[in-house]
Structure 1
Amino acid sequence: DGQMPSDKTIGGGDDAFNTFFSETGSGKHVPRTVFIDLEPTVIDEVRTGTYRQLYHPEQLISGKEDAANNYARGHYTVGKEIIDLVLDRIRKLADNCTGLQGFLVFNAVGGGTGSGLSSLLLERLSVDYGRKSKLTFTIYPSPQVSTAVVEPYNTVLSTHSLLEHSDVSFTVDNEALYDICRRNLDIERPTYTNLNRLVAQIISGLTASLRFDGALNVDLTEFQTNLVPYPRIHFVLSSFAPIISAEKAYHEQLSVAEITNSVFEPASQLVKVDPRHGKYMACCMMYRGDVVPKDVNAAVATIKTKRTIQFVDWCPTGFKCGINYQPPTVVPGGDLAKVMRAVTMEANSTAFAELYSRIDHKFDLM
């Protein structure tokens, strides 16, 4: 409901979680976020769901008709009618911030709204907020699992504005998520809830440094500096470890070395590309929980000796590591086990081209 638990005494307004929440006069914490969709059904679920008390009604913006999987409708016709309202709401939130750092945009580029409206939004944010960083978490269409025939069109069209108007793009695809749910979590028929919770863990791992204090805290702008060698090469592969169900976690010893090794396995990746076919340009690891720098250094040293992990010759073999002492949290009744430590890896690899050549091929088939 946005209230602090009574046993937690509230410090000054400078607590780390105020990055994502603003406190009202009555002590309620409201997320600094806007939900946008061109049709009401999904956002209505938020309006009536468990967390309906948390959001300000004005932060949930929905239109009357959706983009019908059509990029042009999302960008030019239906999207154009709603964008000014959206920017107005964003402006209100931005004015509330003492030092606005940037924007996190969550979208999927397979549908019409996710591709068209998000492109329009990124373009307009560039105009209104200039050099504020924009990080996108983008769900790409997957090789086997498809929800619409025109996914390749929408993806290719939205890529242009992702190239020009986003600073770092963290990529995920549905098929990799489905596979992880089946293989690691033993869920036979994963639902969108299962997939979303998995993506949420990644985002939580990335933003932990903004929300809590830690030994080697990594700022979002540092990510950008470390992961992006040239402005246009900013598409990043995400992986996470340990992804493990409660039944299995009981029998496994998940040491720092072990989770570090498993995060480099193709099986832990949230995108269906094989990193062994490409070379790494940069690599960031965010550890959280019971982790000390000594263990991290040892684990990374072991990784460097492996011949399977190759870096491009024009880039130093750097691993950027961050440590946060807040252990990972899980959704009550969720699929993931509560673990003592976890790691999120973001890697800029040439293997990412595989994803685009696949979409390109499908584009040509139509």
Structure 2
Amino acid sequence: DLEPGTMDAVRSGPFGQLFRPDNFVFGQSGAGNNWAKGHYTEGAELVDQVLDVVRREAEGCDCLQGFQITHSLGGGTGAGMGTLLISKIREEFPDRMMATFSVVPSPKVSDTVVEPYNATLSVHQLVENSDETFCIDNEALYDICMRTLKLSNPSYGDLNHLVSAVMSGVTTCLRFPGQLNSDLRKLAVNMVPFPRLHFFMVGFAPLTSRGAHSFRAVT
């Protein structure tokens, strides 16, 4: 990230011990929701450090399938620096798969006025440099939290929990053995009709609110 706050939250959280301390790479100034700052100035200064970490992790793999990147398309860091990182990884590992989980902004639940610009600039990069993009609609997340999960004021934690459930489902076939097991390349072969048309919509069912769990018992 381009600011230390989020990294500190991860490091001090329950999953902080899962990550190597030297794999946390962050700047100090932030991108200020400015795509160009993330892609050309602040992000460009930090991206070499990030690539060193990526290289080290890749060298530790026996059989590297590809990369999965989670980012939003509405801000400066996720959109600007995220797409810069994708293009740099693509240069260095041209034969590996690149999958992204991209949170797409919406005018109804918008934080900042420049989100449409950041998203437009990012989508152009994703068309060129990504192999599979799982689009996560911000407005739909809020909608599901309110209508299905019956949360009147969903927090970022609630939204992240929903995204993590979808990501877990999407990557299950990559992580576990089975008759229908798959990998990133097989997924692309079956799902992508044309290289530039690689934007997937994700769905998750059944999804019930906490209060309705008692009705889910099979009779």
- Measured against the shorter chain, the TM-score band is over 0.9
- Residue by residue over 1:146-181, the C-alpha shift from the partner in whole angstroms, topping out at 9 and shown as x without a partner, is 011000111111111100000010001111011111
**Rg: which structure is higher?**
1
Q: Which residue of 1 aligns with 2:138?
A: 174
More helix by share: 2
Q: Which runs of 5+ in 2 are unaligned?
A: none
State which drifts further: 243-252 or 92-101.
243-252
CA 1:181–1:116 in 2, change beyond 3 Å: closer, same or farther? same
* Paired residue secondary structure (2:177): coil
Q: Which residue of 2 aligns with 1:3?
A: none
* Paired residue secondary structure (1:53): helix
Q: Which residue of 2 aligns with 1:61?
A: 25
CA 1:229–1:121 in 2, change beyond 3 Å: closer, same or farther? same
CA RMSD of the aligned region, Å?
A: 1.4
| Identity level (%) | 46
Q: Which runs of 5+ in 1 are unaligned?
A: 1-36, 256-366
Pick from 60, 67, 73 the counterpart of residue 109 of structure 1: 73
Contact 1:242 1:254 in 2 (8 A): no
* Paired residue secondary structure (2:69): strand
Q: Which residue of 1 aligns with 2:120?
A: 156
* Paired residue secondary structure (2:215): coil
- Residue by residue over 1:78-125, the C-alpha shift from the partner in whole angstroms, topping out at 9 and shown as x without a partner, is 011100000000000000000100000111010011111011111101
> What is the deviation of 1:254?
7.3
Rounded Cα–Cα distance in structure 2 between residues aligned with 1:218 and 1:132: 15
The runs of at least 4 aligned residues of structure 1 exceeding 2 Å deviation read 252-255
Rounded Cα–Cα distance in structure 1 between residues aligned with 2:153 and 2:218: 27
* Paired residue secondary structure (1:248): helix
* Paired residue secondary structure (1:241): coil
Pick from 82, 85, 92 the counterpart of residue 128 of structure 1: 92
Rounded Cα–Cα distance in structure 1 between residues aligned with 2:86 and 2:218: 40
Could you state the TM-score of these two structures normalised by the residue count of structure 2? 0.96
Rounded Cα–Cα distance in structure 1 between residues aligned with 2:7 and 2:149: 28
> What is the deviation of 1:182?
0.9
State which drifts further: 216-225 or 41-50.
216-225
1:49 aligns with 2:13: yes
Higher relative contact order, chain-length normalized (CA < 8 Å, sep 6+): 2
Pick from 166, 171, 189 the counterpart of residue 207 of structure 1: 171
Pick from 49, 62, 70 the counterpart of residue 85 of structure 1: 49
State which drifts further: 172-181 or 209-218.
209-218
* Paired residue secondary structure (1:81): helix
